[in-house]
Amino acid sequence: MTPEPALQGLNGLVVEDNMIIALDAEQMLLDCGMANVFTAASVAQARRIIETEELGVALLDVNLGNETSFALVGDLKARAVPFVFVTGYGEAVELPAEASGAEAVKKPFAGPTLVEALARAATRAR
């Protein structure tokens, strides 16, 4: 995948409970020029990363098994970290009000679609 200027050098967070999807997304983002990509499979793991790392953008799978990533919206907003949701629910997912303006990408996603959404989020945050 070609480098994406808006993502160059940023640290990213991928919150995804499916390990294969998480690894795929991590590699895709590194290939686009991100400096580091941290992965988490739960809200608790993600919160530890959000609290300890400087993040430029986050990718949040809506459904994390027995919880949703919506609980992370406040944490990310408090640190001015832009985010994009990914969901297998298609258009039916209702995002929380505090996540207004965030994009949701439908699974299965194509690499360019995901990267472009994250680049738009990162650009809006600057």
Q: Write the pLDDT tens digit of every residue in 2-54.
A: 789 999 999 999 999 999 999 999 999 999 999 999 999 999 999 999 999 99
The pLDDT score that the predictor gives to residue 92 is: 66
Which structural domains are found in the chain, ordered by start? 5-125 (3.40.50.2300)
Could you tell me what percent of the chain has a pLDDT over 70? 97
pLDDT band at 108 (very low <50, low <70, confident <90, very high): confident
pLDDT score for 90 = 62
Neighbours of 108 (CB within 10 A): 8
11-15 β-sheet, strand order: 36-40, 11-15, 57-61, 83-87, 104-106
Q: What is the pTM of this model?
A: 0.94
